[in-house]
Structure 1
C-alpha cells in the first residue's frame, strides 16, 4: 500500500477494541453528530521520525475539549495505543512527515453511543510549500464577537479571561470549523494564503484561522497573544515557549495589535502540521525576511522534537 492511502483506526470509546479500518469502506452513519451537527472534538498531531510530536499536550487538550463538550472521558491509554499502532504501520511505508487526526464525536442519535477514530495521511503540497516560502496574510474580524457579560461561569480560562456563556465552549477544539474554512477560502480568492483574526472592538490580535500567532522581537524575544477566552491555547506554541526559554530566549504571552505585528522582527503562524510558516506579507505590506529566520524556524522544529 502506498503512502497516499489514508490509514484509519477505530477506537471504541468505552474501552472496547482498537481495530484497523479499510479506507475504501464507509464508517460514519447518517445520524452521527459529526455529520448532522459538527458535534465533537478533534486533535491534529504531526508524525515525525516515527513518533507523534508533542503527544502529552495534545492528550491534555483532547481531554479538556471532551470535558467542555460533556463527552465521556476519553480513555487515554486506548488513544495512545491506537496511535502507536497506526504510526508503527505508517512508518513502514514512509519516513516523511505525516498528519494524524483524532476524532471523537457525540455519536449516533439513534444509539447515543459516541464514535471515535484516528487517521494518518500524508502532508499536502500546499503545506510543504508554505513551510518553505511562507504565507501572505490578511487580518479580519471573525465575523462574530463573544460577549463575556453574558450569563455564564465566572471561572477563568487558561489565559485568565472570564468565560462567556458556558454553551459557547470557546476553549474546546471542536469539529465546527466551517467558518474557519470559509475564511481561508476567501483569503485564497484574494490571492492570499491565510487569515489572522483581530477583535474589531479593541484591535487585539487573536489567532490564525488554524494556527497560533508568534512574533520574534529583537533581543531573542518571542511573544504570542494571551490565550484563553476567544483564543484557543496552542500546543505548538506551548512546546516552543518551553523549549525556547531553555535556549535563552525570553518568551511572554501579551496582548498585541496589528501594529505590534508590523514592527516585529518577524511574524509566524505555528501549528502542529505546518509547524512554522513565516508571514511574508500582512495586509499588503511586505515583511522582509529577518537575519535570524532560519534560527527561529529551527527553534520551532526543535521544540517539537524536544520531548
Structure 2
C-alpha cells in the first residue's frame, strides 16, 4: 500500500479528509482504500474499514458513516483557536501569557498554547505556583517564587533563567496584561523535545506564565467537607507543587459528588493532612489555633501568612496560642472551629465534617477575624508581601 506521504502534491492543498469506518469482525484485517476522484476542493476520500470478503467490503461502502476531518494550515488553526476562545463564556479571562519557547509575551488567547511534546504535558514533569494580584500588587510573590524554585529542584528541573530574571518576567507579564485584580500562574517544565520518558532529549527547560482575570470573590459562607477515600500522595510528592494533580482532582470530585465543598486527606498515620488544594486549621476548645505541620504536606504560603497574622489575635486575647503539630481526626471534628486556607479561598469556615457538626454549626468568630486580617494584608500589608506592578 502506498504511504500517505507519497500522495501527489495537489492533494495536500485540499481541505478535507473523508474517513469511512465499518464494523470489524474477528476474522478480518484492516484496509485503507483510496478514491482519487475528487470534486472541487474536496480532499480524496479514504474509506477506512475492514476486509473479509467482497460482500463485507461492499456493505461497508454502502452503510458506513463518513467523517470529514479538515486539513488546516497554521493560520487556519490559529483562527479556529481564536474563534473557540471567543465563543467560550467562562468566568475567567486570560489576559497575557509568557512562554520561553517563543521568548516573549502575548495578549492573544489563541496564541496561549504549550507544545504537545513538552514533557509537562505528556509525562507530568513540571511544577507550578500561583500568586494573587490585588489592586495592582502581587501578593506574596517572593514567598511563592521561593516555593516554586524549591519544587523545581525536587523535580530535578533546572530553570532556564536565574531567579531574578524569572521574577522580572513574571512582573512584566502582569504589567502587559493591565490586570489589577486576578491571579498569576506560572510553570517550569523539563521542556519540549520528544515523547520519551526521560527528558534527556529536551534541549532546555521551559517557563510559562499566564495572567488570569477572575470575577470570583472569596466567600465566607460555611461549607461541608468529607474524609477523602482517594489515597494521599507520598510526602515527597505532597511537599512538591507539581502538575501531577490527578489525586487532587479525584478528591475534589469525590466531595462534589457527595454534596460537599472539598475532601480532607488523612496521612498514612491517620492524622489530619490537607485538602485537595488548601490547608486545614482548627480552633480548639481552649482557643488555640491548631494546624497540621508541613513535614508531610505542601507548605501553604497563605497558611503560613495566616499563622503570622494570627499573632495579633493572640495579643488581643482572642486566641490563647498557635500550634503546629499532629492533629487526630477526633480532635479536629470536636474543635470549636474548622477552616480551609488557601490563596483561592483565603479563609473558609467549615460547618460540617462527614456527619459531625463543627462547634455550634455556625461560622466562627476566629475564621472571620483571620479572613479580615488576610484581606487587609493583601490590600495594605508591608512591601515584604506586596510587590507593586509598574503598569
Q: What's the TM-score once normalised by structure 1's chain length?
A: 0.80
Match of 1:189 among 244, 257, 262: 257
Equivalence for 2:212: 121
Matches of 1:80 and 1:98, distance apart in 2: 18
RMSD over equivalenced CA pairs, Å: 2.7
Alignment match, 2:156: 70
- 8 Å CA contact 1:107, 1:114 repeated in 2: yes
Whichever of the two has the greater Rg, that structure is: 2
The alpha carbon displacement at 1:280 in A equals 2.1
- State the alpha-carbon separation in 1 of the partners of residues 294 and 365 from structure 2: 28
Offset from partner CA, 1:24-57 (integer Å, 9 cap, x none): 1253112111210111000011111211111121
Q: Does the CA contact (< 8 Å) of 1:12 and 1:18 recur in 2? A: yes
Match in the other structure for 1:136: 224
Runs of 4+ in 1 over 4 A off after TM superposition: 1-4
Correspondent of 2:343 among 247, 272, 279: 272
For 1:18 and 1:78, the matched residues in 2 are separated by 13
Matches of 1:10 and 1:53, distance apart in 2 = 19
What is the CA–CA distance in structure 2 between the aligned matches of 1:67 and 1:293, rounded to whole Å? 35
Shift, 1:214, TM fit: 1.2
1:59 match: secondary structure: helix
Contact kept? 2:134, 2:378, Cα under 8 Å: no
CA distance in 2, matches of 1:268, 1:215: 6
Where does structure 2 lack aligned partners over 5 or more consecutive residues? Answer: 1-85, 195-201, 386-391
Match of 1:36? 122
The DSSP-based 3-state class of the residue aligned with 2:130 is: strand
Within 2, Cα distance between the matches of 1:266 and 1:227?
20
Distance 1:145-1:37 versus aligned 2 partners, 3 A rule: closer
Q: 1:176 to 1:47 in 2, by over 3 A?
A: same
Give per-residue Cα distances to partners, 1:231-268, cap 9 Å, x unaligned: 11111111111222255353221110122222222111
User: Deviations along 1:122-155, whole A, 9 cap, x unmatched?
Assistant: 3365xx3x62323211012442574xxxxxxxxx
What runs of 5+ residues in structure 1 fail to find an aligned partner?
Answer: 147-163
Q: Determine if contact 1:244/1:303 at 8 Å carries over to the other structure.
A: no
Give per-residue Cα distances to partners, 1:143-192, cap 9 Å, x unaligned.
2574xxxxxxxxxxxxxxxxx7xxx5442110000111111112111111
SS in 1 for 2:290: strand
Of structures 1 and 2, the one scoring higher in RCO (CA 8 A, sep 6+) is: 1
Q: Deviations over 1:64-111 (max 9, x none)?
A: 001111111452223322332233344x45x5x412111111111334
